Amino acid sequence: MAACFIASYDITDADTYARYNPGSLEVIIETIEKHGGKVLAAGPNNEWIADKRTMVVMLEFPSVETAKAWESDPDYAPARQFRHDSTGARFEVIAPEFVPPSG
């Protein structure tokens, strides 16, 4: 069952964040693809309904397990640390695909 990794956050340190994006973008994309994922949405140009933040990222993976494997991938760890060190008001979740109840 597919799953989405969804993150939203405010950039609190632009210089460190630049080491994440664009600085680590090649590694980020490579590790997402390595785990069968793809980018569905990413960026600052969002139509906010509530709790506005600077950035939103939505990734799709084949399963919750593959999403977790990406998030904990040692190849991604340095980039993830840049993201964590340069952002605040961070919301991150791995959500499984919705399957309506039958019957």
Residue 11 tokens read as 């950039």
Tokens 């609190």, residue located: 12
State how many domains the chain has.
1
Q: Does residue 72 belong to any structural domain of this protein?
A: yes
The amino acid present at 29, given as its one-letter code, is: I
24 domain-assigned = yes
Task: Select from 81, 78, 72 the least CA-distant residue to 35.
Answer: 72
Position 103 pLDDT exceeds 80 = no
- Does residue 92 form part of some domain? yes
DSSP H helical ranges for 1-103: 14-20, 25-34, 64-71, 77-85
Segment 42-69 shows an average pLDDT of: 95
Residue 101 lies inside a defined structural domain of this protein: no
Q: What CATH number should be reported for the domain holding residue 8?
A: 3.30.70.100
Domain residue limits at 86: 3-96
Reported as a single tens digit per residue, the pLDDT across 81-94 is 999 999 999 999 99
Q: Is residue 102 part of a domain?
A: no
- Residue 60 domain-assigned? yes
